[in-house]
Amino acid sequence: MRRFLSGVLCFCFSEFGISQTLEHKLNTFIESLPRPQSAGDFKPVFHLPPLNQDTSLICWSFSTSSFIESEMERLKMKPVRLSLTFPVYNVFLEKARRFVATRGTSRVAPGDLFTGVLDILKMYGAIPASGYGGKETGNSETYNHNALYREVDQLMKRLKADSRWNEANALDETRKILDRHLGRPPEQFIYNGKSYTPKSFFNDVVRLPWNEYVMVTSFQYAPFYSHAELKVPDNWKHDATYFNVPLDVFFSSMKFAVLKGFSLAIDADISEPSYVLNKKYAVIPDFDIPLSSITQEAREFRFDNGATTDDHLLHIVDCRNFDGQDWFLVKDSWRTAWEGSNKGYFFFHESYVKLKVLAYLVHRDGIPIIREKIQ
């Protein structure tokens, strides 16, 4: 037993030593870069203060809702903090509906993409955060959806095991779980002294030009300058409306949009050591792959082997150049961003964006080169 424990301790200390060595090497590299020191080094577009998603897995609602709020202000509307859980409630209903229709083959999980908010708003409407908080624990400030996810997953397994493909019954059972953990969304609510339904609030208040927004990606598995499916597990509807462009156009258009005062919601991978260990600067160090070697092929290789996937959705609110280095200010709801010194923000280096951002959502006026190519 002593020999066993000694071996375990040696292994643990070895792993700890490797981690410490990597973190030191990584921090040394970051310190060699011209870089922002704080969020105050940026001049971001308007956005509402960051929120912590806590133990929930609904970053897609945080980031896309934040993007919509910023777009409202950019287009001279009065921005409103949107309910983050209203899309969650309804997207689970739509996932359950599709699960039944596909006889249990469609994915039902907490994760989603930009469309998890955009499509739900168009279908169900919108509610301000003041009208429907959807907090699982009532007055608690945390979003803890673990029990919700577990119960929905168990329900889907029972439906499949028993071949229970009655849509109405499946939706009723799903709704009972959602009501218990999130509360039933109101059919009517008061906002600024006026009564609304979710549909009327969407049409009268959150009245963005929805057809003018573009989802952009960059992968070789589909023809460039055409619409394609983003091939990630959270694309449960197999949405094929992402416009696919070469990496240089993907990045240059992204940077152009931010410098012109547009913000972007982004779908990214956050599994890299700089994000996990540094908690401030997301960068691909030269000892991994030099910036000059981050090509379309390098990006594709990591996507194909699973090193890059859609871990997280965030909101880019500024881009600045620091002595030749492009850095993006990213509004971030994930807990790691709240453990660092800039609560709710992260700094993404251009290397990280080129290699690890899978897609972005932006108004088409911010990307004129791409807009001209869209049919």
pLDDT (0 to 100) of residue 144: 81
Domain boundary among 155, 180, 204: 204
Would 6 be classed as within a structural domain?
Answer: no
Q: How many domains does the chain have?
A: 2
- Same domain as 348, residue 366: yes
Low-confidence ranges of the chain (pLDDT < 70): 1-19, 134-142
- Same domain as 135, residue 119: yes
Q: Which two tokens stand for residue 291?
A: 């910036």
Cα 284 from chain centroid (whole Å): 20
- Same domain as 190, residue 215: no
Would 251 be classed as within a structural domain?
Answer: yes
- Same domain as 351, residue 217: yes
- Same domain as 177, residue 137: yes
Would 52 be classed as within a structural domain?
Answer: no
pLDDT (0 to 100) of residue 1: 40
pLDDT (0 to 100) of residue 55: 84
pLDDT (0 to 100) of residue 341: 86
- Same domain as 166, residue 39: no
Q: Which two tokens stand for residue 318?
A: 């500024």
pLDDT (0 to 100) of residue 143: 73
pLDDT (0 to 100) of residue 279: 93
Q: Which residues pair with 312 in a beta bridge?
A: 268
CA-to-CA separations, 152 to 58, 166, 214, in angstroms, rounded:
15, 16, 32
pLDDT (0 to 100) of residue 141: 56
Determine which helix (DSSP H) or strand (DSSP E) holds 156, and give its type and residue range.
Answer: helix 146-161
Q: Quick check: helix, strand or coil at residue 269?
A: coil
Would 9 be classed as within a structural domain?
Answer: no
- Same domain as 319, residue 218: yes
CATH number of the domain at 157, please. Answer: 3.90.70.10
Q: Are 213 and 362 in contact (CB under 8 A)?
A: yes
Q: Are 312 and 236 in contact (CB under 8 A)?
A: no
Query: What pTM was computed for the model?
Result: 0.92
Would 306 be classed as within a structural domain?
Answer: yes
Q: Are 268 and 375 in contact (CB under 8 A)?
A: no
Would 59 be classed as within a structural domain?
Answer: no
- Same domain as 191, residue 255: no
pLDDT tens string 116-133? 999 999 999 999 999 998
- Same domain as 354, residue 232: yes
Would 54 be classed as within a structural domain?
Answer: no
The Cα angle at residue 268 between residues 216 and 345, in degrees rounded to 5 = 115
- Same domain as 250, residue 161: no
Domain boundary among 168, 186, 204: 204
Would 7 be classed as within a structural domain?
Answer: no
The set of residues, in sequence order, having a beta carbon less than 8 Å from that of 85 and lying 6+ positions away, is 58, 61, 132, 133, 134, 135, 143, 182
Query: Residue 206: what residue type?
Result: V
Domain that holds residue 85: 78-204
- Same domain as 164, residue 273: no
Domain boundary among 178, 204, 230: 204
- Same domain as 346, residue 216: yes
Determine which helix (DSSP H) or strand (DSSP E) holds 13, and give its type and residue range.
Answer: helix 2-31
